[in-house]
Amino acid sequence: MLAAMAVMVSLFAVVAYAAQIDGTLLDDTIKETQRNDQIAGHSGDDEINANVFSVTETPGGDGDVDKVKGNKGEDFIDVADGDDLDTADGGKNTDTCVADPGDNVINCE
């Protein structure tokens, strides 16, 4: 029982340190937080900046894990923040992505 509670606490702790950021149907400019982010641009031609905080500016100084999806529209996604922990997925249409060498880049020109 105690072990099960420890697992539950650790799961909730991870969720507490992540941010879900959603765009709108319009053209949005979205910026990351200092935590692990899941960012969705939705419709519109979005500019998504998940490069605002460098590795040393994140809690613990180890970088953050950002998962960015542009979805519809012609998006600009920047996940070049000095770590290789991020994912940039442009989604549909023609999207431009800027990333660190080890980042995962999908559906980008």
pLDDT per position as a tens digit, 62-77: 899 999 999 999 999 9
Domain that holds residue 62: 2-106
How many folded domains does the chain comprise? 1
Q: What local confidence, expressed as pLDDT, does residue 73 receive? A: 92
What mean pLDDT, rounded, does the chain reach?
A: 87
Q: What local confidence, expressed as pLDDT, does residue 47 receive? A: 98
Predicted model pTM = 0.83
- Sequence-separated contacts (24+) of 83-91 with Cβ below 8 Å: 83/55, 86/50, 88/50, 91/41
